[in-house]
Amino acid sequence: MSRIETFNLPDLGEGLTEGEILAWLVKVGDTIELNQPIVEVETAKAAVEIPAKWAGQVQAIFHPEGTTVEVGTPIIAIDTDPGAGPLDAPSTTATSGGDLPTPSAASLAAVEVAPAEGMVEPGLIGGPAPGGRTAVLVGYGPRTTAAKRRPRKGAVPAQALAAPAPAVDHGVVVGDKPASSPIVPAPQVHDRGDGATGGPVLAKPPVRKLAKDLGVDLGTLTGSGPLGSITREDVQRAASGTTVTAEPITATAVATSAASFGVDREQRIPVKGVRKLTAENMSRSAFTAPHVTEFLTVDVTRAMKALDRLRGRREWRDVRVSPLLLVAKAVLLAVKRHPMVNSTWAGDEIVVKEYVNLGIAAATERGLIVPNVKDAGRLSLRELADALTDLVQTAKSGRTSPADMSGGTLTITNVGVFGVDTGTPILPPGESAILAFGAVREMPWVHKGKVKVRQVTTLGLSFDHRIIDGELGSKFLRDIGDFLADPEAALLAWT
Highest mean pLDDT among 140-149, 181-190, 365-374: 365-374
d(CA 228, CA 106): 11
Residues in the chain: 495
Q: In the prediction, which pLDDT does 207 show?
A: 85
Average pLDDT over every residue of 343-366: 90
- 465 tagged catalytic: yes
Identify which of 411, 296, 432 has the alpha carbon closest to the alpha carbon of residue 362.
Answer: 411
pLDDT, tens digit, 9 for 90 and up, residues 366-419: 778 889 999 999 999 999 999 999 998 888 887 888 888 889 999 999 999 999
The more confidently predicted of residues 192 and 476 is: 476
Q: In the prediction, which pLDDT does 134 show?
A: 44
pLDDT, tens digit, 9 for 90 and up, residues 228-251: 788 888 888 888 775 544 455 454
Q: In the prediction, which pLDDT does 216 show?
A: 86
Of 182-196, 326-340, 379-393, 437-451, the one with minimum mean pLDDT is: 182-196
Burial 287-315 (b: 16+ CB within 10 A, else e): eebebebbebebbbbbbeebbeebeeeee
What's the whole-model pTM score?
A: 0.53
Active-site pick, 190, 291, 338, 465? 465
Share of the chain above pLDDT 90, in %: 35
Q: In the prediction, which pLDDT does 171 show?
A: 41
Average pLDDT over every residue of 186-197: 43
The more confidently predicted of residues 257 and 25 is: 25
Of 56-60, 217-221, 479-483, the one with minimum mean pLDDT is: 217-221
Average pLDDT over every residue of 185-210: 60
Q: In the prediction, which pLDDT does 426 show?
A: 87
d(CA 129, CA 10): 10
Identify which of 229, 131, 476 has the alpha carbon closest to the alpha carbon of residue 336.
Answer: 476
Average pLDDT over every residue of 84-104: 51
Average pLDDT over every residue of 315-327: 92
Of 4-18, 248-262, 289-303, the one with minimum mean pLDDT is: 248-262
- How do strand 450-464 and strand 433-437 relate by DSSP bridges? antiparallel
Q: In the prediction, which pLDDT does 289 show?
A: 73
Is residue 47 within 8 Å of residue 22, measured between CB atoms?
Answer: yes
DSSP state of 230: B
The more confidently predicted of residues 124 and 483 is: 483
Residue 30 pLDDT greater than 70, yes or no:
yes
Q: In the prediction, which pLDDT does 191 show?
A: 45
What is the full DSSP assignment across 361-400? -EEETTEEE--EETTGGGS-HHHHHHHHHHHHHHHHTT--
Which helix (H) or strand (E) covers residue 61, if one does?
strand 56-61
Q: Which residues contact 323 (CB under 8 A, 6 or more apart)?
A: 300, 303, 304, 307, 416, 437, 440, 457
Confidence of residue 306 (pLDDT cuts 50, 70, 90): very high
